[in-house]
Amino acid sequence: MKALTVFEDAQSAAATVLRAALAGRPEAFAADVTVGTKVPASRAPETRFRHVMVRKDADLPHPSMGNARVTLRVTVWHEDDDQAHDLAMLCQGLLLVHSGPVIRGVRPGTGPLPAEDDVSGAPLSTFTVLANIRPRLA
């Protein structure tokens, strides 16, 4: 009989990694940043927010249940273009050096690329990473 393996939620795991890693960072652009898996609750044009959103873009096929590979998209909102880019670069770096119980390794994908929020007009920056996910026996 084959062992039953499952994979944890990579999106949630990456958000947890970034939330913990950003807490207490010395960079001014990393202060008061929220991290989650959803778009910020308020994106009114007059609202200034610093938010990092992690979403799973794709599951990439893998021939065994010994590994799962996913594409994670990270979107960073900030007060100006430079700070959005700097925070995105920091988040990308924090993910690239991470190895833990869910995410075993990360490689760069695309970006960071500058953009503008379609609702608030706030500056944002987005990037992707390719994450290898550890299996768990169920």
Those residues whose C-beta lies under 8 Å from the C-beta of residue 49, and which sit 6 or more positions away, are: 34, 40, 42, 43, 77, 122
Place of tokens 């044009």: 45
Is 24 inside a domain boundary?
A: yes
Q: Residue 115 domain-assigned?
A: yes
- Domain region containing 93: 5-39+49-137
At 17-32, the pLDDT tens digits run 999 999 989 999 999 9
Does 30 map to a domain? yes
Specify the pLDDT at position 137.
82
Query: Per the structure, how many domains does the chain have?
Result: 1
118 DSSP 8-state letter: T
DSSP3 helix / strand / coil % (the chain, rounded to 5): 25, 35, 40
Q: Does 123 fall in a domain?
A: yes
Q: What is the pLDDT, as a whole number, of residue 47?
A: 67
Domain annotation covers residue 11? yes
CATH number at residue 123: 3.30.2000.10
Say if 44 falls within a structural domain.
Answer: no
Mean pLDDT, residues 61-90: 89
- pTM here is 0.90
pLDDT digits 0-9 by tens, 77-133: 998 999 999 999 999 999 999 999 999 999 999 999 999 988 888 899 999 999 999
Query: What gap in Å lies between CA 94 and CA 71, rounded to an integer?
Result: 16
